[in-house]
Structure 1
Amino acid sequence: CTQVLHPLLRLCTDSLSDHVSHLEQYINSMEKLSVNCHSNGETEVGSAFFRLADFSKELLSPMKNQVSRLSDEALNVCVCVCVCMCVCSKQVEKEKRELARQYGMVRSEVSGGEIAEELEKERRSFQLSMCEYLIKVNEIKTKRGVDLLQNLIKHYHSHNKYELTHTPGASGCQLRQEEEKRQLCVLRDQLRPVVHTDQDSLPKQVYSMHQLLGDKQYGTERSGFLYKKSDGLRKMWQKRKCSVHNCYLTIAHATPNKPPTRLNLLTCQVKPSVEDKKCFDLISHNRTYHFLAEDEAECVAWISVLSNSKQEALSVALDGGRKGGGGPESSVEDLTRAITDDIRRMPGNNNCCDCGAPDPGWLSTNLGILTCIECSGIHREMGVHVSRIQSLSLDSLGTSDLLLARNVGNSGFNEILEANLLSPSLKPSQHSHMAERKDFILSKYQDVHFVRRGHNSASALRLGLQEATKSCDIYSLIQLYAQKTELSQPLHAHIQEKGETALHLAVLLADRTSLHILDFLAQNCSNVDAQTSAGNTALHYSCLHNKSDCVKLLLRARANPHISNTHTHTHTPIINILYPTLSAAEIFFHLSSKREKHCKNMFSWFSW
């Protein structure tokens, strides 16, 4: 009996030891995969493999202890089994003898063949159990490659499910958070129309690109002394000579040899201090300056001069006038240049969106991505209904041309348009031939082969369009656009009139932080002049709610200003609402030759 059971138990312990050693090899392989992924720049995948290796190490330690205990106890189990079987066989033999004597049977003992038959049955049963175990161990050992990854994923999901199931209150907390989010979204949707209605009821003022208007009596230039708070640990007030001229604030330093600081007011915002009436802040793109005046009147004068100088520079730039000296024009150029530099620093924008070539210099204004000169030529071949290409250095770009690029970027765009790209090797490189580039770009933009598609119905896509517009989610809009969703279709629910589209909703909810949503819809929808049941287009809504930024964006997207709605008995066209004081000839000249210039440089959307 010992000769039969001992090899089987030894085989069992050896198999478990092999399993432990294989698990150690698996952990080493996972760590190597993590190192390789980190070296290739795939930090998220490398971190995932590293966490899986740590988790497997935690499982390995108790398994080693269990195997060592099992190997020590295997021999004892074998001896005990043999002793028990011998005792049992003797007891059976004794009972059989007693029964034979009682019933007068001649046979008084059990034959060795019967005992051997019983032992054979026990042995076969034990062998069957061991075979089942070894088969399972062999199945684990034979899983390699993709099967291994799939099992790791299943293991990860099972672990998460276990945590959610056995963690008290976790699922309930998640449900409560989702319910609170839903209630807040409903409250936001209810308050937005009320806020816009209250704003519409106020007296309409002349459109200003600033939130702060200065007193005109103080003019646009000033020179004097202000106290500026230092940036050091002591935060001391230091007296500095300051002057405002041609939309620039010049701040002298305490050291005469050090050149003064010049701030372009077009890229700054002036904010009075709430706590101290003698203080105000000047917020630039990289720093906030704190100033202190001698008294409240002096503070008001400086704030007015700064605001007036900025307002005058913007007005001159937008009206095409020349004040002499080139100050406002250079200020607008500095503003555009600063925004362009900021766009170049966005994630993924240091390489071409399609081939990965370094330092791309061409912008798709309706998609918000940067490409190299070779790929930009293919974009032009596809047509302006797919991609509208302009040069960052050769073309005269305005702030409205940079609106989408400032909010999208190559990385976020490719996460959607290349979500189902099987391998990065399928993407062309900067050294690829034009035919290879063209095939990839046409598949990416026209055929959208690499977009992850869901099994959503037309109704679900329309609801998603409404939610993406409400939440100002540009990437959800790009996903819907890539799935060939009609952006001009009427939405499920309306705020003011039936038949409202995403464009109407974007106009109603528009503020300085959401203009890029309206810009994307206006440039990429099939019908920018879609009308509601009352005949109002998005351009009607922009005029009725006094939203000049929206008017300019829609005119830039070639919205028709001559469409009349059905509510006005006289069918007054939009053009008369926009320009009530101009003659017909002046209106025609404005729309034909000046619209492009007025719509290119305009906005207060840039938030530094």
Structure 2
Amino acid sequence: MTVKLDFEECLKDSPRFRAEIEVVQSDVSELETRLEKLVKQCHAMLEAGRVYCQTSKSFVNGLRDLGQHCSGDKTMEECLDKFSIKLSIILEAQGDVIETTQKSVKTKLQNFVKEDVRRFKDVRKEFERGSECLEGALMRNAQAPRGKQHEVEEASNALLNARRTFRSEALDYVLEINVIEAKKKTDILMAMLSLMEAQAQLFQHGHQSLSELDEYRRKLNEEHTQFVLNSAREKRDMEQRHAAIKKKDVSYDDSIMDFNAASTNGIAMEGYLYKRASNAFKTWSRRWFSIQKSQLVYQKRFKDQPTAVVEDLRLCTVKPSAENERRFCFEVVSPSKCCLLQADSERQQQAWISAVQNSIASAFQEHRDDSHSPRQRCSSVSLNSLGGGGGGGVDQDNKGCKALEEVQAIPGNKNCCDCGEPGPDWASINLGITLCIVCSGIHRSLGVHFSKVRSLTLDSWEPELIKLMCELGNTVINRIYEARIDELTIKKPHPSSPRGDKESWIRSKYVEKKFTHKLPETGRNPLLRRASGRRNRTDTQDQAVQRPPLKPKPNRATLPRVTGLSPSDLVQKNNAHKDVDEEEEDLSGLHPGALLYRSAALQNFPVMADALAHGASVNWVNAAEESSTPLIQAVSANALAACEFLLQNSANVNQTDSNGRGPLHHATILGHTGLVCLFLKRGADYNAKDKTHKDPITIAVDTANADIVTLLRIAKMNKEMREMDGAFGQSGDETYHDIFRDFSHMASNNPEKLKRRSADPKT
């Protein structure tokens, strides 16, 4: 059964919903007219059929009388007698057809018109009455003067009751629309099917036209039976959903307060607002507003062409308005005009102001990205190279372009990870995969907690992000998230598959995780032994951890079984400087959080991704090791890409261990300048103190690490400058970004230049 209207859409009461309601009402009126006409025609046909049967019976009786008269002639008597018997059987069958038509067609359709359509009209009247009451309550609520509190309260209560009543009646109306849509199919099909059965039995031995309908009749009969079953089941589910929604509080006024800059239809936000006219009368009109294509537009009806309040959001600003007598007002000010708008509540007012501000910021960001995209920088590099000129900035951009090519050269990255389309130019930075533009849009709709999408050609890429992308790739991730597709015989979509198939596949793969290996019950040990997790921090700050090769690594499912490596071999392979006398541990049997914790220290990205795919908390705490987290473990190994991977998957950059030290403390103690730069860019708190009452700046001064002291002090100074209203705030911010960008490139490309300077802390 196809749902004609959606319950959620009726709660918004948008122009789209009103337009669909008008279409349905027109369709039902047309259906009623045609059914009444058909019932009248059926009645005339039945009366004519009864007259025909009566006269035919008289004719048969005449044949019998003639046969009796011809009793002396046996041939004549037998012929007339047999023919009259056959005609009697045919007439009886025709009488059955007339009775069947009377019951199945005329009565059924007549009842549908008298009962179902009438019930639809009654519910429609209730809906229209509730709509009028709500419109009046909205008008009274909007006109309530700010200074008369009792009138405001009366108007608010009246609006609350009117909205509750309207939405309840709207839900009933939508339910009735969907029910009558389904019932008209079953009733009309059942009537026609019964009539075809009777006609087929009547003419099955001689009427060729009905014989040709036998196959169709059987097929239609089967489809109708299945349709009735499905319709009954979906009707039951729909009624349950209707009852569940009706139990909720439908009097709220923020059902449309959802700002989504990356929505698939391009509408970041939409809803009703009152708009004051710019004429001399200053009249207020309620209009449907939406933010789309960097514009704030409104319309009265769904089919109307939207009118833009401002052509470009970058040219305007928004602020609350307290000068007007009406409540919940705000202004959208542009160089050419000022538009005064009013929301229905303070919450909606704040939501609209925030949405317009976010849209203004997004418009500026899109403009900035378009003018400084990597593709344009690569073009400028080529031109400078041809001209014989080139400086440090050109070389840096050239390296960035080569790094993007390196991402696309990772195994499997030349085709979309989910549909296989060649030449993908989008990526999910927290998953480490490349995507085509269609799949990237679906990934974006999942939300940033599942996938963070960037363009490989339009967005700017930080060096640590490129390094992270080179550690994973489509082949590695598909080995984890598609581990069971052969076992489940699931068909993967291809580039020409419909978008719906791709969306269903991506949601099953990344949200529901249907194709990952199931964890055995024995693989859920949440604790790590202290001996197996102990680190020699003195060795860590003097030795550099060798970056693992850029090739696929074993995932969790194949860790001990397929590769043939023992857990101790895996540990030694991924951590060359680990103590050989340390106790062996079985990584394959760990709880997902513990597995993420251990693999972060080993810099084993496939195993880290596998642990997250199996539900590991990115902020998992190892109580047996001073409440350390996976991010702190990655810091101990000086693993820049591993830290970036955890941060992109929502790791808390300020989560501390039992000593009150966060990742920034540990990176400062160990002298990992590149990690200090990364954490500061990700919002680490440089003022946080550990249990010894030392913050990272104090620790850096004690260890005489000039680079880290410089970074921390610059970050602190930049924050102070941004909080100032002076003229140098923006300049300081640019200097800050330039310095941190240089440190990021150095940490990713030349880490040996950031080795900690050894000095006597006492000097």
TM-score norm. by structure 2 comes to 0.34
TM-score norm. by structure 1 comes to 0.42
Structure possessing the higher relative contact order (Cα contacts under 8 Å, 6 or more residues apart):
1
